[in-house]
Amino acid sequence: MLARRARPGNAVSLAVIAAAVCVAPALPRAQSPRGPGVNEEFGTIAEGYTSELVGGPIEAAYRMFSAPDFAAVCAAARAGDVRSLRAARARIDGRVGVPVPYTALEVDALDALGVLVPKVPIAIESEIESGVLDVRQDHIGSDNVTPKAPGSIRLRIRTICDAPGGETFITLDVK
């Protein structure tokens, strides 16, 4: 079909298109458009913002963003500048039955030079196969999560804007 429509002036164009179609499946896949992307081993428990000051607490709640405004929120936060996330502490302590406020998590968003990019939208996720946290939707507090059993659980904090972004992990040790 293409051969019949080809004209002398566009033969090169058809050759380029044919080559692109053949090579495209071999190219590496691009990063997910929403930062590091979904990891099926983790489930979202909250969303919020990275710290406003170096080593400061995050701001988070069960749900903080609405879809119609999200692109504007990301643009205002300079989320496109973020290249990594850094947790101030790799481990935090908790106690069974005592809510852990999300402000206990201290996570900085950093640009390519390691400079703080304040208040970048993030998701807070917990390992799905762990029985340490009470993650039933009707049990998650608006600004905290409650441990229900002793043990350790990894929390994944990741950027969620349509930009490269980053992720970091914090282990919650519950006694």
In this model, does residue 97 exceed pLDDT 60? yes
| Length of the chain, in residues | 175
pLDDT tens string 21-68: 333 333 333 334 557 888 999 999 999 999 999 999 999 988 899 888
Please state the φ and ψ torsions of residue 161, each to the nearest 5 degrees. Answer: -80, 165
Spatial distance between the Cα atoms of 82 and 111, rounded to a whole number of angstroms:
5
Which two tokens mark 110?
């950093």
Beta strands per DSSP E along the chain: 42-49, 59-61, 84-87, 91-94, 100-101, 107-110, 121-127, 133-134, 144-147, 151-159, 167-174
pLDDT at 88 over 70: yes
Gap between the Cα atoms of 164 and 152, Å rounded:
29
What is the model's pTM? 0.78
Q: What tens digit of pLDDT does each residue of 7-17 get?
A: 555 454 444 34
Structural domains of the chain, with CATH = 31-174 (2.60.40)
Asked if 173 contacts 95 with a C-beta cutoff of 8 angstroms, the reply is no
Selection from 174, 17, 162 nearest residue 95 by Cα: 174
